[in-house]
Structure 1
Amino acid sequence: MKRRSLLSVASAATVMTLGGVGYAAHRRGRNPYYRGPASDHFDGVRFFRPSQETDKDLLAVARWQLSRGGEAWPKQWPSPFPADVPPERVEGLRVVLIGHASYLFQVAGRNILVDPVFSTRASPLGFAGPKRVNPPGIALADLPPIDAVLITHNHYDHLDGPSMARLWQEHEPRIVAPLGNDAILRAYDGTMRVETCDWGGSVDLGGGITVHCVPANHWSARGVNDRRMALWCAFVLTSPSGVHYHVGDTGFGDGSLFREIRARFGPPRLATLPIGAYEPRWFMKAQHMNPADAVAAFGLLGADRALGHHWGTFRLTDEGIERPAEALAAALEEAAIPPDRFLAMRPGQVWEAGAAS
Structure 2
Amino acid sequence: MPLILLGGPKRDGFGVQVLGLVRTYSPFVTTPLLVAVGGMGLYLAYGETMRRKTIRGRRRRHQEKAKEAAEEQDEEAGEAEVDERERFKVYKHAGRYWNPFPEWREQGIWEWFYWKLHKLVTWNFINPAGLPWDKTVLERTIPLYTPDFALLIEASGDKVTEVEEAEMIALHDLVAPGQEIVEAVALDDPLSASWATMESTSSTDEPESNPNSDETVVPMLTTIPAVLVQDSAPVPEIPAVEDRIVYTWLGQSCVHVQLGSLTVLTDPVFSFSLPSDNSELPTFMKVDRIRPVPATLESLGKIDVVLVSHNHYDHLEEASVLAIGDSAEWFVPMGMKDWFNDLGVFRVTEMEWWDFAPVRSNTAFEVVAVPAMHWSARTPLDTNTTLWTGFCMMHNNENILYHAGDTGYMKDLFPLIKKNYGSPKLALLPIGAYEPRWHLCTQHIDPEDAVKIALELDAERAVGVHWGTWILSDEHYLAPVVELRRNVEKYKMQAGRFIAGEMGETVVIPWGKQMAEKEHWEYAMREARDGKCLVWERE
Partner of 1:249: 406
1:45 and 2:95 correspond: yes
> After superposition, what is the alpha-carbon deviation per residue over 1:318-339, rounded to whole angstroms, capped at 9, x for unaligned?
1111110000000011112233
1:231 and 2:387 correspond: yes
Distance in 2, Cα, partners of 1:154 & 1:201: 19
Distance in 2, Cα, partners of 1:234 & 1:191: 22
Distance in 2, Cα, partners of 1:317 & 1:24: 26
**Deviation of 1:135 (Å):** 1.9
SS of residue in 2 equivalent to 1:331: helix
Distance in 1, Cα, partners of 2:441 & 2:461: 24
Question: Does the 8 Å CA contact 1:312/1:346 hold for their aligned counterparts?
Answer: no
Partner of 1:179: 334
> Against the structure 1 CA distance between its residues 41 and 280, is the aligned structure 2 distance closer, same or farther, given a 3 Å change threshold?
same
Partner of 2:106: 55
1:73 and 2:131 correspond: yes
SS of residue in 1 equivalent to 2:306: strand
Partner of 1:204: 358
> Against the structure 1 CA distance between its residues 26 and 141, is the aligned structure 2 distance closer, same or farther, given a 3 Å change threshold?
farther
Letter in 2 for 1:72: G
Question: Does the 8 Å CA contact 1:273/1:308 hold for their aligned counterparts?
Answer: yes
**The structure with more helix, counted as a fraction of residues:** 2
Distance in 2, Cα, partners of 1:346 & 1:183: 35
Distance in 2, Cα, partners of 1:99 & 1:285: 22
1:151-300 residue pairs with structure 2 within 5 A? Answer: 151-168=308-325, 172-187=327-342, 189-205=343-359, 206-239=362-395, 242-253=399-410, 255-300=411-456
1:64 and 2:220 correspond: no
Question: Does the 8 Å CA contact 1:45/1:229 hold for their aligned counterparts?
Answer: yes
Normalising by structure 1, we get a TM-score of 0.84
Letter in 2 for 1:298: A
Question: Does the 8 Å CA contact 1:25/1:225 hold for their aligned counterparts?
Answer: no
Question: Does the 8 Å CA contact 2:90/2:353 hold for their aligned counterparts?
Answer: no
**Deviation of 1:27 (Å):** 4.8
SS of residue in 1 equivalent to 2:423: coil
Distance in 1, Cα, partners of 2:380 & 2:354: 29
Distance in 2, Cα, partners of 1:24 & 1:109: 50
**Deviation of 1:122 (Å):** 2.6
**Deviation of 1:195 (Å):** 1.2
Partner of 2:79: none
Q: CA RMSD in A?
A: 2.2
Question: Does the 8 Å CA contact 1:74/1:133 hold for their aligned counterparts?
Answer: no
Letter in 2 for 1:204: P
> Against the structure 1 CA distance between its residues 335 and 191, is the aligned structure 2 distance closer, same or farther, given a 3 Å change threshold?
closer
> Against the structure 1 CA distance between its residues 24 and 237, is the aligned structure 2 distance closer, same or farther, given a 3 Å change threshold?
farther
1:333-344 residue pairs with structure 2 within 5 A? Answer: 333-344=489-500
Distance in 2, Cα, partners of 1:230 & 1:88: 37
1:137 and 2:299 correspond: no
SS of residue in 2 equivalent to 1:67: helix
Mind listing any 5+ residue stretches in structure 1 that lack a counterpart?
A: 1-22, 29-38
Distance in 2, Cα, partners of 1:326 & 1:342: 13
Question: Does the 8 Å CA contact 2:90/2:97 hold for their aligned counterparts?
Answer: no
**Deviation of 1:300 (Å):** 0.9
Letter in 2 for 1:341: R
1:78-117 residue pairs with structure 2 within 5 A? Answer: 78=139, 79-84=142-147, 85=149, 86-89=152-155, 90-91=241-242, 92-117=244-269
**Deviation of 1:312 (Å):** 0.1
Question: Does the 8 Å CA contact 2:90/2:352 hold for their aligned counterparts?
Answer: no
Question: Does the 8 Å CA contact 1:248/1:274 hold for their aligned counterparts?
Answer: yes
> Against the structure 1 CA distance between its residues 136 and 40, is the aligned structure 2 distance closer, same or farther, given a 3 Å change threshold?
closer
Letter in 2 for 1:198: E
Question: Does the 8 Å CA contact 1:83/1:136 hold for their aligned counterparts?
Answer: no
Question: Does the 8 Å CA contact 2:402/2:427 hold for their aligned counterparts?
Answer: yes
Question: Does the 8 Å CA contact 1:267/1:302 hold for their aligned counterparts?
Answer: yes
Distance in 2, Cα, partners of 1:56 & 1:285: 11
Distance in 1, Cα, partners of 2:380 & 2:350: 23
> After superposition, what is the alpha-carbon deviation per residue over 1:27-72, rounded to whole angstroms, capped at 9, x for unaligned?
59xxxxxxxxxx8511251111221523312331121001222223
> After superposition, what is the alpha-carbon deviation per residue over 1:145-198, rounded to whole angstroms, capped at 9, x for unaligned?
111111000000001111111121xx61111101111222334x2244311111
Distance in 1, Cα, partners of 2:144 & 2:363: 31
Question: Does the 8 Å CA contact 2:435/2:474 hold for their aligned counterparts?
Answer: yes
Q: After alignment, is 255-264 or 117-126 more displaced?
A: 117-126
SS of residue in 2 equivalent to 1:112: strand
Letter in 2 for 1:93: I
Mind listing any 5+ residue stretches in structure 2 that lack a counterpart?
A: 1-38, 45-88, 156-240, 515-539
> After superposition, what is the alpha-carbon deviation per residue over 1:299-354, rounded to whole angstroms, capped at 9, x for unaligned?
11111110000000111101111110000000011112233111110211223212
Letter in 1 for 2:130: A
Q: Which of these two proteins has the greater Rg computed from alpha carbons?
A: 2
Distance in 2, Cα, partners of 1:58 & 1:351: 40
**Deviation of 1:227 (Å):** 1.0
Distance in 2, Cα, partners of 1:252 & 1:99: 22
SS of residue in 1 equivalent to 2:347: coil
**Deviation of 1:235 (Å):** 0.2
Normalising by structure 2, we get a TM-score of 0.57
SS of residue in 2 equivalent to 1:339: coil
Question: Does the 8 Å CA contact 1:271/1:305 hold for their aligned counterparts?
Answer: yes
